[in-house]
Amino acid sequence: MNHAVVIGAGIAGLATSIRLVVKGYSVEVFEANSYPGGKLSAFKVDGYRFDAGPSLFTMPHFVTQLFEMAGVDPKEHFDFKRKKVACHYFWSDQKKFKAYADRDLFMQEIQNVFDEPKETVEKYLKKAQKKYDLTHTLFLEKSLHKLKTYLSSATLKAIVNLNVLELPKSLHQVNQDTFSSPHLIQLFDRYATYNGSDPFQTSGIMTLIQHLEGHYGTFVPTKGMVSITQALYDLALNLGVKFRFNFPVTEIKVGSKGVEGVCAESEFFKANVVVSNMDIYPTYKRLLPQLKPPKRTLSQERSSSAIIFYWGIENSFDALDLHNIFFSDDYQKEFKAIFEHQTVCDDPTIYINITSKDVPSDAPEGCENWFVMINTPADHGQDWDIMVNKLREVVISRLSKELGTPIEPLIACEEVLTPPLIQEKTQSHLGALYGASSNSSMAAFLRHPNFSNRIKNLYFCGGSVHPGGGIPLCLLSAKIVDELIPKAS
């Protein structure tokens, strides 16, 4: 039986291990941490449970199909429900908006709150859907670095409809050209942050992200986001995948005929196939020292990162739900600070995720577990202690004002995550959450491919390679790798 090694037990590594076992390989996963999931992990403090990383769950079929392809009923192992309201939005001028999952309610709410005609919004959303329909097989589900991807009717159709994609325009330009309400423009600009980019730079094709959330919906796992990790880890174990935790790979061994295996803990482990779920930058710099790295790819601008405050709050707020956004007054200034000045502005947008709204056991009775995130630049040597202290004051002051309650006295416990800690815990280069940014219209083509052009049987998955970061795209990277690797002989 052919043997495959997967480096890293992040969400893409778990999915890849499952797919390769189903394909007939014996699979061994090496993980530097003591737990699976990478960024998709959790921890507890003083009776409060926090999801450490990704908080948005959409397109759940990418998770359930892994069970189905293994012949297992996903309902017996993983449960989730659709949210009726995707997100609550707040502005400093007291304007508020609920993004309903129901399309008719969503459109009506836009008309009521922003005074935008339904017809304008409907046309915008239909165009976003067309962008997705034209490009998803090319940009998301296939390798961009294989000639056969372009020799298809889908590619020809996308080329014929190139003007629909609005590639030369920025996302902000598209939104500004479409809507009159600055609040709605800002709301739709926000979708650039789903892949760590700047709405004033990233391409107008990114309106398709709004379509994905609106069409597929926003979901919440009944046992928290970490249950995605746990369900896939348990599935992999049941299928026979072997895991080695606290076992970092130190080198990918390469011979004249291609990959030969990996070195870890001063031992050599032979493999016919190696898949790295490690960030592409340290994969080359640490694990492939004998190979000249792809300079252009590794020098790409990093995506945004984040400072996250995990707060146990001794109160509950009816105005808040699972996902909540408190917008800054000057969005362009905010992103200039992040990407041009590599800092955080004085008035940042604040995101609060509260899983105890749907999973009551995540916090003591009458309390809430707040995951408070502010977008930041990646780690370029900034003084993060100063930045954290400053942000903490700004966030507490803003939320106290918006919610009409002093927040500081309600904080029962606190943990903080910064870009340097993100890099330390997940090996993400400079702590960037999504690898390279998508601020260039050519960014999709500049991401590292899911295979090596120079080393046979070496593959790559995860958020730092094609098609990008976030749970759905990481799972799609595993699917692309699966399609590139032949069945075990």
Confirm if 114 and 97 have CB atoms less than 8 A apart: yes
User: Domain spans of the chain?
Assistant: 3-81+223-300+428-484, 84-216, 304-377+380-417
pTM for this entry: 0.93
Sheet holding 458-460, edge to edge: 242-244, 26-30, 3-7, 273-276, 458-460
In three-state secondary structure terms, 345 is: coil
C-alpha separations of 452 from 173, 182, 355, 395, 485 in Å? 37, 45, 40, 44, 12
Could you list the pLDDT tens digit for every one of the 489 residues in the chain? 599 999 999 999 999 999 999 999 999 999 999 999 999 999 999 999 999 999 999 999 999 999 999 999 999 999 999 999 999 999 999 999 999 999 999 999 999 999 999 999 999 999 999 888 887 776 666 555 554 554 455 555 555 555 777 888 999 999 999 999 999 999 999 999 998 999 999 998 888 888 888 888 999 999 999 999 999 999 999 999 999 999 999 999 999 999 999 999 999 999 999 999 999 999 999 999 989 888 888 889 999 999 999 999 999 999 999 999 999 999 999 999 999 999 999 999 999 999 999 999 999 999 999 999 999 999 999 999 999 999 999 999 999 999 999 999 999 999 999 999 999 999 999 999 999 888 876 665 678 889 998 999 999 999 999 888 899 999 999 999 999 999 987
CA atoms of 51 and 362, how far apart (whole Å): 10
With DSSP H G I counted as helix, E B as strand and the rest as coil, what are the percentages for the chain, rounded to 5?
Answer: 40, 20, 35
CA atoms of 25 and 10, how far apart (whole Å): 19
Q: Which of 149, 145, 207 is nearest to 178 (CA)?
A: 207
Confirm if 53 and 41 have CB atoms less than 8 A apart: yes
How wide is the angle at C-alpha 127 spanned by C-alphas 434 and 91, nearest 5°? 60
Strand partners, 302: 436
What CATH class is the domain 3-81+223-300+428-484?
alpha beta
CA atoms of 90 and 87, how far apart (whole Å): 10
